[in-house]
């Protein structure tokens, strides 16, 4: 079985090279080709001895995703990447170009086990976790299309290409804990992508012990976004079923402990659903929770999913809800799902292509931060 070279960290690669009697400095060269120059074939590693390349290619794979489609939104601000895995499944990433930032939204699982009632990611079949290599290959492949590798002329424009990575595609990152953490360490390492923790956001539905472990493991450096969606137990039980196991009170106590250790502010994501969680009382409840930990709130107007019987709020309702939060001193941004015209709702394109039948092709949503113009 060949291993995925992108999943390997510096120490592991050095150990491997030593066992083959190659000098350890080759490890950084190899990782530089992978994570900064974003190569997809061994042949592109120009400064390595043929013998080493031979050993590497016998035992490992440099690329495991096949890029199938890359539709762009009409306004060119977002682009979707549909990849096929080696075992023939589809996953998606999204590139969002906005305000000088190039953000990649990555998937962490094929499907999702959390079954949030309004999210189509959990409606299809759960297939498997992605590997760390599959997670970061999404970033490299997107980066590569941004600035093609310029071998030989000494210029490397790819270094600054991707500025932010958000774990908000398909799947629950903390339900694929080891691969997510490994991917994040590679994104942050100087021998990896060299991204600062503030440029990485992990979004979770609230698996409390995993959140606590995660904050510890990344030393509080990575941004944390909590999918709250309601400040009421009963409503949250319906929307986010994991709430039955890790309820709001426990989640809030845990976050109160954590926010002191976190070097970044916490964000609450709040999918606004008409008649469900958009009343003035709901706004007060949300403001109360947000103010307890000085959290910022991202409102995501519900993006209709065929199988779920919920209503999107009108723009006026979104505005009213945000105004109520702001009145209570909460910082609010509104998110839009990226590029509806390219099915940027994460997973949508995947399900159209996935050879899973017996489903009417639910629409999966990846909500990407998309700051609308300020609410007047």
Q: Residue 84 or 172: which CB sits closer to ligand SAH?
A: 172
277 lines the binding site for ligand SAH (CB under 6 A): no
Per the annotation, the verdict on 366 as an active-site residue is no
Q: Could you give phi then psi for residue 369, rounded to 5 degrees?
A: -65, 125
| Residue selected from 27, 168, 222, 282 as contacting ligand SAH according to rule CB under 6 A | 168
Which residues neighbour 190 within 8 Å (Cβ) at sequence distance 6 or greater? none
DSSP H/E element including 66: strand 66-69
Stretch that binds ligand SAH, among 57-65, 146-154, 296-304, 318-326 (CB under 6 A): 296-304
Q: Residue 30 or 181: which CB sits closer to ligand SAH?
A: 181
Choice among 105, 205, 322, 346 that is catalytic? 346
Count of residues in contact with ligand SAH, rule CB under 6 A: 19
In angstroms, the CA 276 to CA 313 distance is: 10
Stretch that binds ligand SAH, among 15-23, 49-57, 134-142, 197-205 (CB under 6 A): 197-205
Can you say which residues are annotated as belonging to the binding site?
Answer: 112, 116, 119, 171-172, 203, 227-229, 303
Per the annotation, the verdict on 92 as an active-site residue is yes
Stretch that binds ligand SAH, among 86-94, 259-267, 284-292, 301-309 (CB under 6 A): 301-309
Asked if residue 283 lies in contact with residue 324, where contact means CB atoms within 8 angstroms, the answer is yes
116 lines the binding site for ligand SAH (CB under 6 A): yes
Which value, in Å, is the radius of gyration of the alpha carbons in the chain?
Answer: 21
b/e string for 18-28 if b means 16 or more Cβ within 10 A? eeeebeeebbe
Footprint of ligand SAH on 29-88 (CB under 6 A) = none
| Residue selected from 187, 215, 300, 322 as contacting ligand SAH according to rule CB under 6 A | 300
In angstroms, the CA 291 to CA 330 distance is: 7
Choice among 14, 84, 92, 137 that is catalytic? 92
Asked if residue 169 lies in contact with residue 92, where contact means CB atoms within 8 angstroms, the answer is yes
Footprint of ligand SAH on 337-356 (CB under 6 A) = none
In angstroms, the CA 193 to CA 3 distance is: 20
In angstroms, the CA 297 to CA 287 distance is: 9
Could you give the C-alpha distances from 49 to 26, 56, 121, 279, in angstroms and in order? 10, 11, 44, 65
Instruction: Tell me the two tokens of residue 235.
Output: 């409503």
Residue 55, burial from CB neighbour count under 10 angstroms (0-12, 13-18, 19+): middle
227 lines the binding site for ligand SAH (CB under 6 A): yes
Q: Which of 157, 160, 158, 170 is nearest to 105 (CA)?
A: 170
Q: Residue 119 or 181: which CB sits closer to ligand SAH?
A: 119
| Residue selected from 14, 134, 137, 172 as contacting ligand SAH according to rule CB under 6 A | 172
Can you say which residues are annotated as belonging to the binding site for S-adenosyl-L-methionine?
Answer: 171-172, 203, 227-229, 303
Q: Distance between terminal CA atoms of the chain?
A: 58
Q: How far is the CB of 165 from ligand SAH (least distance, A)?
A: 13
| Residue selected from 305, 318, 334, 338 as contacting ligand SAH according to rule CB under 6 A | 305
Annotated catalytic residues are: 92, 346
Binding site for ligand SAH (CB under 6 A): 114, 116, 118-119, 168, 172, 203-205, 227, 269, 271, 300, 302-303, 305, 365-367
């Amino acid at each position: 079985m060949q291993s995925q070279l992108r999943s390997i960290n510096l120490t592991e690669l050095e150990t491997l090279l030593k066992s083959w009697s190659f000098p350890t400095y080759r490890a950084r060269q190899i990782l530089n080709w992978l994570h900064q120059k974003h190569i997809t074939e061994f042949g592109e590693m120009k400064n390595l001895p043929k013998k080493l390349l031979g050993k590497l290619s016998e035992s490992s794979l440099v690329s495991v995703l096949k890029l199938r489609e890359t539709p762009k939104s009409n306004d060119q601000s977002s682009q979707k990447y549909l990849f096929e895995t080696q075992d023939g499944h589809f996953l998606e990433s999204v590139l969002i170009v906005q305000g000088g930032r190039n953000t990649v939204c990555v998937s962490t699982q094929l499907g999702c086990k959390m079954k949030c009632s309004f999210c189509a990611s959990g409606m299809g079949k759960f297939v498997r976790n992605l590997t760390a290599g599959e997670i970061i290959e999404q970033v490299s492949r997107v980066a590569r299309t941004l600035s093609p590798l310029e071998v030989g002329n000494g210029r490397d424009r790819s270094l600054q290409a991707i500025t932010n990575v958000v774990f908000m595609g398909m799947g629950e990152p903390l339900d694929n804990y080891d691969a997510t953490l490994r991917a994040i360490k590679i994104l942050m390492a100087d021998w990896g992508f060299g991204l600062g923790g503030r440029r990485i956001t992990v979004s979770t539905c609230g698996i409390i012990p995993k959140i606590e472990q995660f904050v510890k493991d990344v030393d509080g450096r990575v941004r944390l976004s909590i999918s709250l969606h309601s400040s009421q137990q009963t409503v949250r039980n319906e929307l986010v079923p994991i709430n039955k196991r890790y309820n709001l009170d426990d989640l809030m106590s845990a976050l109160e402990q954590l926010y002191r250790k976190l070097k970044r502010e916490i964000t609450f994501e709040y999918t606004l659903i008409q008649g469900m969680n958009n009343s003035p009382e709901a706004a007060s409840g949300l403001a109360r929770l947000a103010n307890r930990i000085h959290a910022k709130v991202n409102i995501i107007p519900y993006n209709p999913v065929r199988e779920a019987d919920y209503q999107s709020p009108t723009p006026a309702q979104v505005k009213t809800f945000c105004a109520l939060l702001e009145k209570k001193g909460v910082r609010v941004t509104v998110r839009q799902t990226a590029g509806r015209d390219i099915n940027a709702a994460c997973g949508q394109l995947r399900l159209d292509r996935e050879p899973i039948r017996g489903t009417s092709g639910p629409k999966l949503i990846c909500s990407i931060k998309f700051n609308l113009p300020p609410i007047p």
